[in-house]
Amino acid sequence: MALMITDDCINCAVCEPECPNLAIFEGEEIFEIDPDRCTECVGHFNEPQCQLVCPVDCIPEDPDRVESQEALQVKYEKWIGESA
């Protein structure tokens, strides 16, 4: 499933440069994650990098965007193919 950033975000911006899919961006009030680009770092890393660096632990899985590991892999391969 894609990840999301909750209202607990303190806008520290440490997560944004860690995203290999450029899915994290500065929203109107807090940072946000584009669920169509988020692969939970599948294809790049073993763990979501944004979750590892977040100092307030405000990046949970998005319950409205349930995706299997296989679906995340397909999404990763789509982004890699489009950027090649």
Q: How do residues 26-74 score in pLDDT, each as one tens digit? A: 999 999 999 999 999 999 999 999 999 999 999 999 999 999 999 999 9
Look up the CATH number of the domain holding residue 21.
3.30.70.20
43 occurs within a structural domain:
yes
56 occurs within a structural domain:
yes
Residue 38's alpha-carbon distances to 4, 7, 44, 52, 76, in angstroms, are 9, 19, 11, 15, 8
Domain that holds residue 69: 16-83
72 occurs within a structural domain:
yes
How many domains, the chain?
1
22 occurs within a structural domain:
yes
Tokens of 38: 């988020």
pLDDT of residue 81: 82
70 occurs within a structural domain:
yes
2 occurs within a structural domain:
no
pLDDT of residue 83: 61
